[in-house]
A and B are shown apart, each in its own frame.
Chain A
Amino acid sequence: MLPYINIFGRQIATYGFIIVLGIIIGTMIAVFYFSKFNKVKRDDVFYSILYGIIGIVVGAKLLYILTNIPLLVQSENILDTLLQMLSGGFVFYGGLIGGILGIFIYAKQFKIEFKSLLLTIVPVIPLVHAIGRIGCLCAGCCYGMEYHGFGAITFHNSLIAPNEIPLFPTQILESICNLLIFVILTITYKKYIGTYKTVGLYCMLYSIIRFILEFFRGDLIRGIYLGISTSQWISIALLILGFVIFIKGEKNNENGVRNKSVRNR
């Protein structure tokens, strides 16, 4: 739809630009709003997000390169292939593990409670995701199946999505759903404050939405196992995990809003 934008005469990938914008907005909300409810300083939330982002980038890329080592070894120009791998390919699990590990390393290094940091950052993840999906729409990735009904999108100059074919608007729908999850998490945040229930709720809601939306996806590169896609299997696992976290999530503790002695500056 709009793969590149020109800023000061320089061509920039819209996806990257929007995702960076999303991260900035998400970080600001976590730092200035959600940090108020937990036993953490604004500075620590900000720095831990930086560590988390570094973890996401390093983890996602590292796992992608590790899974493609045979391709790297076979290539004639290893440096060029390595650069291509660095510029594309993003293993979700690598990013997820890397991001959590980044926050954990920060918490350990500076002796800050990991739980408080995690609970401050989790509610903004769907917001960043929602903005990121707009980037997908611009780039033409994560596109839907052929569809001729209401709201169908037709790409004309996409590098990824099939051009001139009306497609189901999976990106827009997922963006709206993520935005709704963000609103739900924000409304229920005070109720579940100081517990892992917010994390559980997010896992459950997102996995349900993703599972349903996967049926309308049209991109072919994702594998199908026993009739459902890899992402749907992941969604089932995430739903169970989220349910367990939500049920087992302990009741309110001293981390709550009532503890104003450690409020931020």
Chain B
Amino acid sequence: MEEDKKPEENKEPEVVEPKVEEKQAEVVNNGNESNGMAIASLILGIISILFNFIGYSWIGLILGIVGIILGVNAKKKNPSSMASAGLVLSIIGTALCAVVFIACVACVGIIGLGASLA
């Protein structure tokens, strides 16, 4: 019986070791991925704000929305200051651009178009 148990005990490390490595690799991959998303969110947020000031709010709005989605995903996977900064800047950029673009149901573009041309 003792002889039977020994090989089983020896096998355990062989089974556990790859799992730990896989988990570590997964964590590293997730970290890298979320870091990439955080950087992308930060850049898109900054560009979104810039586009609002140079008069291309519609481009800023699209970039800001993409920045928000990336920022939220980055924050959920790996909360970091970079992800927070990216998210905040994307929200500011989107809000600034949205102010120009949002028009009421009945406004039929008059206000938004007028403001964007101003």
Task: List, in ascending order, chain A residues with CB within 8 A of B115's CB.
Answer: 4, 11-13, 16
**Do A13 and B58 have beta carbons less than 8 Å apart?**
no
B107 & A160 in contact (Cβ 8 Å cutoff)? yes
Q: Which residues of B contact A90 (CB under 8 A)?
A: 102-105
Q: Tell yes or no: A110 within 8 A of B by CB.
A: yes
**By DSSP majority rule, is chain A's interface helix, strand, loop, or mixed?**
helix
Give the shortest distance, in Å, between A2 (CB) and chain B (any CB).
11
Q: How many whole Å from B29's CB to the nearest CB in chain A?
A: 18
Q: In the complex, which of the residues A4, A86, A219 contacts B106, with contact meaning CB atoms closer than 8 Å?
A: A219
- Chain B residue total in the interface (Cβ 8 A): 30
Contacts of B25 in A (CB 8 A): none
Contact digits for A1-33, partner B, Cβ 8 Å, 1 yes 0 no: 001100000011101110110001000000000
- Given A11-B115, A11-B118, A13-B112, A87 and B104 contact (CB-CB distance below 8 Å): no
Cα(A219)–Cα(B106), bound, Å: 8
A239 interface hit (Cβ, 8 Å): no
Which of B58, B91, B107 contacts A83, CB < 8 Å? B58
Interface size on A, residues (CB 8 A): 39
Given contacts A50-B68, A87-B58, contact A159 B99 (CB under 8 A): no
User: Which of A24, A139, A222 contacts B107, CB < 8 Å?
Assistant: A139
Q: How far is the CB of A170 from the nearest CB of chain B, in Å?
A: 11
In the complex, how many angstroms separate the beta carbon of B82 from the nearest chain A beta carbon? 17
Q: How far is the CA of A132 from the CA of B103 in the complex (A)?
A: 11
Distance in angstroms from B24 CB to nearest chain A CB is 23
B39 in the interface (beta carbon within 8 A)? no
Q: Report the nearest A residue to B95, measured CB to CB.
A: A20
Q: In chain A, what residue has the closest Cβ to B103? A: A88
Nearest residue (CB) in B for A221 is: B106
Report whether B100 and A141 are in contact in the complex, using a CB–CB cutoff of 8 Å: no
Identify B98's interface contact among A20, A92, A110, A219, CB under 8 A.
A20
Q: Which residues of A contact B111 (CB under 8 A)?
A: 3, 13, 15-16, 88, 139, 159-160
> Which residues of A132-149 have CB atoms within 8 Å of chain B's CB atoms?
135-136, 139, 141-142
A86 and B101 contact, Cβ closer than 8 Å, known pairs A50-B72, A110-B76, A139-B111? yes
Closest 9 A/B residue pairs (Cβ): A88-B109, A87-B112, A16-B99, A13-B115, A141-B106, A16-B102, A11-B118, A141-B104, A88-B103
Binding site for B on A (CB under 8 A): 3-4, 11-13, 15-17, 19-20, 24, 43, 47, 50-51, 54, 57-58, 83-90, 92, 106, 110, 135-136, 139, 141-142, 159-160, 219, 221-222
Q: A4-B118, A20-B98, A57-B98 are in contact. List 8 more A-B contacts (CB 8 A).
A: A16-B100, A87-B101, A87-B109, A87-B113, A88-B112, A110-B76, A159-B111, A160-B106
10 contacts between A and B (CB under 8 A): A12-B100, A16-B103, A83-B58, A87-B103, A89-B103, A90-B102, A136-B104, A139-B107, A141-B104, A142-B105
